[in-house]
Copies of this chain bind each other. A is one copy, B any other.
Amino acid sequence: MSCARAVVLLSGGLDSATCLAIARSRGCECFALSVNYGQRHRAELDAAARIAQVLGAAEHRTMSIDLAGIGGSALTDRSIEVPTAPSQGIPITYVPARNTQLLALALGWAEVLEARHLFVGVNAVDYSGYPDCRPEFIHAFERLANLATKAGVEGRSLAVEAPLLHWSKAAIIRAGLELGVDYSLTVSCYRADERGRACGLCDSCRLRAEGFRSAGVADPTRYAMGADLP
């Protein structure tokens, strides 16, 4: 894949940091986009800014949308607790239509930048049951993107790249380490404290810890004092 300009969604977590490193390794000029959507864990956004800088993004931008006003998720509605035990079906940490909204914002910026690639670090293997992390969702968004935009109408096609889609968490971590990602900068925990230290109990902490174990590499995650390690 040849790549000039790309917009890369960057949450500050492990997956999106790896995704940015992959986009950079393909020679893309990367415009990293973080979105403050009223999530509990602002530490993620601070992490995103550091990661964008260290991994050589051309620009990092944080946009805001008020999903807290909509609620319906443990990540955006403070009256709903983040579960600390595995759940069945679609977890309560699913944020309604979040990836559609994030990709829509990325698409708008890509149109202005004349970027031809959107990178998103979704993963369908360890995907925690979110509907908008599935391959069919990504393909449908790519199709939409080419119908929604001036670029698409004028024949400059847009590609939605989800390089982690079919990888295990361990494979993601190994790929990232080869590309020099410093995972101590990333924050995955749904309940991270203000300094980005993890709880060790939520789904996201569990998936991350299992990933480092399977990859057979040291886990640089910083845990909150007294956290039960996953």
Contacts and interface: CB of A to CB of B under 8 A. Distances in A.
Interface of A: 61, 63-67, 69-72, 90, 94-101, 103-105, 107-109, 111-112, 131-132, 134, 136-137, 140-141, 143-145, 147-150, 152-153
A103 B132 CA distance: 15
In the assembly, how many copies of this chain are there?
2
Given A63-B66, A150-B90, A104 B100 contact: yes
A64 B63 contact: no
B144 A131 contact: no
Contacts of A65: 63-65, 105
Contacts of A96: 107-109, 111-112, 149-150
Chief secondary structure at chain A's binding surface: helix
Given A100-B145, A131-B147, A134-B147, 5 more contacts: A61-B69, A90-B150, A96-B149, A97-B148, A137-B148
A1 to B, nearest CB: 22
Contacts of A140: 140, 143-144, 147-148
Sorted from nearest, which 10 A-B pairs have the closest CB atoms?
A: A72-B112, A96-B111, A97-B108, A97-B107, A104-B104, A101-B104, A96-B108, A100-B104, A140-B144, A131-B153
Contacts of A111: 72, 96-97
Contact of A94 (B90, B109, B150): B150
Question: Which of A63, A94, A131, A152 counts the most B-chain CB atoms under 10 A from its CB?
Answer: A131
Contacts of A99: 148
Contacts of A132: 147-149
